[in-house]
Amino acid sequence: MMKLFHLAAAICLAGAAASATAADPNLGRNLAATCANCHGTNGKAIPGAGMDALAGMEKEKLLQKLKDFKSGAKPATIMHQISKGYTDEQLDLIAAYYAAQK
Amino acid sequence: MIINRRDFLKASASAAAVAGLYGCASGSKASGHVVVVGGGYGGATAAKYLRMWSQGNVQVTLVERNAEFISCPISNLVIGGTKSMADITISYENLKHKWGVRVIQDEVTGIDAHARKVKLEKGGELSYDRLVLSPGIDFMWDQVPALKSAEAQAKILHAWKAGPQTVALRKQLEDMKNGGVYAITIPKAPYRCPPGPYERACLVANYFKTEKPKSKVLILDANEDVQSKKGLFMKAWADLYKDIIEYRPNSELKDVDVAGKAAVLEFEQVKADVLNVIPPHRAGNIAASTGLKLINNRWVDVNWLSMESTNTPGVHVLGDAIFPAPTMPKSGHMANQHGKLAAAAILNLLAGQAPNPTPVVMNTCYSFVDGKNAIHVASVHQYDAATQTVQPVKGAGGVSAARNELEGKAALGWAQNIWADMLA
């Protein structure tokens, strides 16, 4: 039993170490949800309401767009200010989440 | 020690069982019953996301006193005459039929947090595993003694909760003579929707400019300065409404002369033809009566990892009712974000897991300065373990460079999308 306990502890630690950047298994989902107010639940924006639908957008394309907003390379009315609030790792998780939405 | 694959799997299964006892139970599913009180921006969002993210495994009951959702954001356009009530009214049908939320139209009269039960006005009670309170605000009528009676409140309107008051204020403005004065009083911060009163002043002035050009708009602000988008609002007042809008800071309302339609300030009385009083407010009454810890006797103190009350386990509080994190506005957008933060945390807790240790919330708020042009303020707030709150990210966020029509379209697009994010 002690061995089992040690193994349990080791599995816990391994899990924690592996998820140092994504501590919560749903971190990408949670971060992406902060965009949904404007861009629609799971990135499915209302058609014709003037907001980009992010669902199913290729990950690299979306990530580049977000990084360009963040650096100022891509002009915007508001996204340059919002993208600066997220780390590059968070933007990566957000782009990956939306790319996986059908 | 050499462990072959089969032994490892066997050991892992046992270890997982042990680990479960020690809080490392990844993969387990959330189940249980969550009661949500209040179907506004916070509560409706929490209800939908709890159902969506649990794939229907968590049962959700939403208790809401109104038959339909009526939005405060965009309601200033109804008061200004460019939108109708139908434009800001949405049913709860999709929450019921698409998302499987049980919606009960009733009033919560009491909460037993120990027994985890909610009492309803029309009778009966609901048991819960977790409770979400999104009660909005209630007014502190003691601060405006003459407005304590329902009769007085029907004459001197706040229209700070969208609904019948929105319609009534529009009617008062339509009935007002050309050459009349509309005065709006703003309470000391924090209050619901920091830019809202200034937007309303703009939209009433916009109506006067075309329909009743001899009329005036008077802003009586208890604060020492404009509380949001200051430069942009002051530029709009100077450019668009130079002879219409007058702004008076440090003008705290002490009481009202209801019959004379006068705002009673410390040293003077200001008479108006339409007097619009936004009284000081606090967390919805149910929060205080439940014994939740309040800050300044007004706003609910919450744990920012879960939105859970700091003194009442199992009760999560959202939206305008909470004591805000640094620089966080009381806004519908922010309440929606609180709803998602709480939904994620509740699902983790119901599955025996800790809440996400790194939550993020953000705010976007558009204000119209006339029928077409809008301005925004935005911010992003990341959890900071050292201060145990969400802190605004330095260098992020900001306001519009100038008022523009593109953001007027974005403001309406924002509304369509956030309403769908909550209710569709």
pLDDT tens, residue by residue, B334-362? 999 999 999 999 999 999 999 999 999 99
Q: Is residue A10 predicted with pLDDT exceeding 60?
A: no
Find the closest chain A residue to B336 by CA distance. A37
Reduce the DSSP state of residue B75 to 3 states and report it. Answer: helix
Do the Cβ atoms of A41 and B52 come within 8 Å? Answer: yes
Q: Is residue A83 predicted with pLDDT exceeding 50?
A: yes
Q: What is the CATH number of the domain that holds A36?
A: 1.10.760.10
pLDDT bin (cut points 50, 70, 90) of residue B137 is very high
* Residue A44 is assigned to a structural domain of this protein: yes
Do the Cβ atoms of A41 and B359 come within 8 Å? Answer: no
The predicted structure's pLDDT at residue B423: 98
Find the closest chain A residue to B394 by CA distance. A85
Closest CA–CA distance from residue B112 to any residue of chain A (Å): 31
Q: What is the ipTM of this complex?
A: 0.91
Is the minimum CB–CB distance between B25 and chain A shorter than 8 Å? no
* Residue A63 is assigned to a structural domain of this protein: yes
pLDDT bin (cut points 50, 70, 90) of residue A6 is very low
End-to-end CA distance of chain B: 56
* Residue A10 is assigned to a structural domain of this protein: no
Do the Cβ atoms of B380 and A86 come within 8 Å? Answer: yes
Do the Cβ atoms of B12 and A29 come within 8 Å? Answer: no
Residue whose entry in the numeric block shows the structure tokens 């959890």: B383
Task: Judge contact between B376 and B365, C-beta under 8 A.
Answer: yes
| DSSP 8-class letter at B297 | T
Q: Is residue A19 predicted with pLDDT exceeding 50?
A: no
Q: Is residue B312 predicted with pLDDT exceeding 80?
A: yes
- Pairs of CB atoms within 8 A across A/B: 142
Do the Cβ atoms of B333 and A49 come within 8 Å? Answer: no
Residues 6+ away with beta carbon under 8 Å from B170:
B78, B79, B81
Domain count, chain A: 1
The helix (run of H) or strand (run of E) holding residue A42 is none
* Residue A8 is assigned to a structural domain of this protein: no
Query: How large a percentage of chain B has pLDDT more than 90?
Result: 93
B179/B213 Cα distance (integer angstroms): 7
The predicted structure's pLDDT at residue A13: 40
Find the closest chain B residue to A37 by CA distance. B418
Is the minimum CB–CB distance between B327 and chain A shorter than 8 Å? no
Residues 6+ away with beta carbon under 8 Å from B49:
A33, B339, B340, B343, B344
| DSSP 8-class letter at B367 | E
- Work out the number of other CB atoms within 10 angstroms of the CB of residue B394: 8
The helix (run of H) or strand (run of E) holding residue B392 is strand B389-392
* Residue A6 is assigned to a structural domain of this protein: no
pLDDT bin (cut points 50, 70, 90) of residue B16 is very low
Residue whose entry in the numeric block shows the structure tokens 């373990």: B385
* Residue A9 is assigned to a structural domain of this protein: no
* Domains of chain B with bracketed CATH: 32-139+282-355+412-423 (3.50.50.60), 154-279 (3.50.50.60)
Please list every residue in chain B whose beta carbon sits closer than 8 Å to the beta carbon of residue A82.
362, 364, 378, 380, 396-397
Q: Between residues A3 and A80, which one has the greater pLDDT? A: A80
The B residues from 385 to 414 touching A (CB cutoff 8 Å) are: 393, 395-398, 400-401, 404, 406-407, 409-410, 412-414
Bridge partners, B36 (sequence order): B62, B132
Do the Cβ atoms of B417 and A81 come within 8 Å? Answer: no
In one-letter notation, the amino acid at residue A43 is: G
Closest CA–CA distance from residue A62 to any residue of chain B (Å): 19
Task: Judge contact between B331 and B363, C-beta under 8 A.
Answer: yes
* Residue A31 is assigned to a structural domain of this protein: yes
Please list every residue in chain B whose beta carbon sits closer than 8 Å to the beta carbon of residue A46.
413, 416-417, 420
Do the Cβ atoms of B396 and A36 come within 8 Å? Answer: no
* Residue A16 is assigned to a structural domain of this protein: no
Nearest by CB: A38 against B12, B341, B417: B417
Task: Judge contact between B168 and B156, C-beta under 8 A.
Answer: no
The predicted structure's pLDDT at residue A3: 41
pLDDT bin (cut points 50, 70, 90) of residue A102 is confident
Find the closest chain B residue to A36 by CA distance. B421
Q: Is residue B280 predicted with pLDDT exceeding 90?
A: yes
What is the extent of the structural domain holding A31?
23-99
